[in-house]
């Protein structure tokens, strides 16, 4: 599939002419992008560190995970909207930038992983991790920890690749 | 006076070969900068969790003290990494950073955020955490948490804007801006 025409279309769009014109607004959107990352990844880190029993051990994990959910979605919306705005200003650079594509692959993987495996495994965490009482369908602790490490790794790669777009 | 002193200090740092090496390094500078930005997720992320609880908008089922006491360590680990990487970034580009209006505002905001954090701590101590399990903490705690988040958001904005040269010393600016940014040489031209 050739995606270059899409970036050519984005580069010629009214959004691109707008985002390329106002440098001050662009830097504000960049700040929103970073702050959305803090909200999204910060909340994911909290959940993952909790499931690794590194922070808040003994505090019922379902309470923590339930509370992070809303902020993860707000962060995700913020990061995608500000990201589309930013990408319009440098569309032709991104079309050929491997860090951008690695970031997009990581982002897609991160979202799918979070909604499928991560949530399924975390809800079946054994008592030694979850502290929510015995379950009949509990998985082994190492499975939960592997999922937590994978989640941390995926989101780290998204953020690191994103930062490196600016250097490339 | 202070402008001259800061400029002298920055010029002195600039004389180190290590400063130039780090600035011009192919990857090292990017890694330090990347670490600085990415560690925000740990430091500001944990701070966000605590402040949202103190604002009474999230984690309301948990005692405020649980989050404050037990997320303090990961938050401070993040903070230390941010300070170390931040000092390295300043060391790599000392003169321009010293004469950056954004960096100057950022430092003032950091001090304000630090004082605010101390005030929040004193307030929680003096109330003996009688509101620990209340879903919505007392008003002055919420004000402190709101102030904390606002200050840190502005710190991030200032940090991000340091990359832009809109108000660098080599630009045409009013006297006040040269003074505020500490453009010592440009100010001398006014004398």
pLDDT for B131-151, tens place per residue? 999 999 999 999 999 999 999
Q: pLDDT-based confidence at B179, cuts 50/70/90?
A: very high
Q: Give the Cα separation of A87 and A83 in Å (integer).
A: 6
d(Cα B70, Cα B48) in Å, to the nearest integer?
Answer: 14
Q: Determine the pLDDT at residue A111.
A: 98
* Residue A2 confidence (pLDDT): 86
How far, in Å, CA of B99 to CA of A137, rounded? 61
Q: Does A63 touch chain B (CB under 8 A)?
A: yes
Residue A23, classed as helix, strand or coil, is: helix
Angle between helices A14-21 and A61-89 (to 10 degrees): 90
Percent of chain B with pLDDT over 70: 100
* Mean pLDDT of the A19-32 span: 96
pLDDT tens digits for range B7-31? 999 999 999 999 999 999 989 999 9
Cβ-Cβ contacts under 8 Å, A43 against chain B: 45, 48-49
- Per-residue model confidence as pLDDT tens digits over B146-160: 999 999 999 999 999
Contact between B10 and B100 (Cβ < 8 Å): no
Q: Spell out the residues 6+ positions from residue A79 whose beta carbon is closer than 8 angstroms to its own.
A: A33, A36, A37, A40
- ipTM value greater than 0.90: yes
- Residue B70, pLDDT above cutoff 90: yes
Q: Is the pLDDT of residue A1 over 80?
A: no
Nearest CA in chain A to B42: A42
Question: What mean pLDDT comes out for the span B119-127?
Answer: 93
Confidence band for B124, pLDDT divided at 50, 70 and 90: very high
Given pLDDT bands bounded at 50, 70 and 90, which one contains residue B52?
very high
pLDDT at residue number A35: 98
Cβ within 8 Å, pair A27-B52:
no
Q: What is the DSSP string of A74-143?
A: HHHHHHHHHHHHHHHHTHHHHHT-HHHHHHHHHHHHHHHHIIIIIHHHHHT--HHHH-S---SSPPPHHH
What pLDDT is recorded for position B190?
81
Mutate to test the interface with B, among A23, A25, A38, A61 (most CBs of B within 10 A): A38
Query: Tokens 């170390």 sit at which residue?
Result: B84
User: What integer pLDDT is reported at residue B191 of this predicted model?
Assistant: 73
Question: Which of A46, A52, A54, A131 to mutate to probe the B interface, most B CBs <10 Å?
Answer: A46
Q: What angle do CA A53, B64, B53 make, to 5 degrees?
A: 95
What pLDDT does residue A86 have? 97
pLDDT surpassing 80 at residue B1: yes
One DSSP character per residue, B128-172 reads TTTTTT-SS--HHHHHHHHHHHHHHHHHHHHHHHTT--TT-TTS-
Q: Do B160 and A27 touch (CB under 8 A)?
A: yes
Q: pLDDT tens-digit profile of B30-50?
A: 999 999 999 999 999 999 999
**Per-residue model confidence as pLDDT tens digits over A49-68:** 999 999 999 999 999 999 99
The answer to which of A29-33, A147-151, B126-130 has the lowest mean pLDDT is B126-130
Number of domains in chain A: 1
Domains of chain B, by residue range, sit at 2-188
State which residues form the domain around A93.
Answer: 4-165
Residue B27: predicted pLDDT? 92
Facing residue for A159 by CB, picked from B41, B59, B157? B41
Task: Dump pLDDT digits (tens) for A70-95.
Answer: 999 999 999 999 999 999 999 999 99
Contact with chain A for residue B168, Cβ under 8 A: no
Q: Compute the average pLDDT of residues A28-35.
A: 98
């Amino acid at each position: 599939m050739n995606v270059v025409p899409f970036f050519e279309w984005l580069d010629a769009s009214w959004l691109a002419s707008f985002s390329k014109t106002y440098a001050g607004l662009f830097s504000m959107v960049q700040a929103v992008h970073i702050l959305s990352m803090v909200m999204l990844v910060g909340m994911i880190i909290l959940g993952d560190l909790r499931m690794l029993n590194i922070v808040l051990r003994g505090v019922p994990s379902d309470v923590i995970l339930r509370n992070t959910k809303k902020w993860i979605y707000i962060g995700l919306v913020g990061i995608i909207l500000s990201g589309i705005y930013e990408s319009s200003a440098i569309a032709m650079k991104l079309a050929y930038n491997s860090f951008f594509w690695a970031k997009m692959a990581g982002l897609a993987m991160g979202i799918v992983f979070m909604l499928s495996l991560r949530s399924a495994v975390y809800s079946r965490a054994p008592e030694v991790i979850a502290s929510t009482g015995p379950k009949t369908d509990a998985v082994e602790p190492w499975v939960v920890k592997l999922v937590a490490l994978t989640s941390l790794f995926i989101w780290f790669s998204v953020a690191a690749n994103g930062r490196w777009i600016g250097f490339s | 006076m202070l402008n001259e002193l800061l400029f002298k200090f920055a010029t002195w740092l600039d004389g180190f070969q290590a400063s130039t090496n780090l600035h011009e390094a192919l990857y090292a500078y990017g890694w330090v900068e990347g670490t600085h930005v990415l560690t925000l997720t740990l430091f500001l992320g944990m701070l966000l969790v605590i402040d949202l609880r103190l604002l009474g908008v999230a984690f309301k089922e948990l005692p405020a003290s649980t989050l404050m006491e037990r997320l303090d360590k990961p938050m401070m680990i993040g903070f230390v990494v941010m300070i170390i990487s931040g000092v390295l970034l300043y060391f790599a580009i000392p003169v321009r950073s010293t004469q950056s209006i954004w960096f100057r505002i950022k430092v003032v905001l950091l001090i304000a955020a630090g004082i605010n954090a101390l005030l929040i701590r004193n307030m929680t101590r003096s109330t003996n955490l009688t509101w620990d399990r209340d879903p919505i903490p007392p008003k002055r705690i919420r004000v402190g948490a709101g102030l904390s988040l606002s200050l840190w958001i502005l710190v991030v904005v200032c940090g991000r804007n340091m990359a832009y040269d809109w108000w660098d010393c080599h630009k045409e600016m009013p006297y006040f801006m040269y003074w505020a940014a500490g453009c010592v040489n440009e100010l001398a031209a006014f004398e």
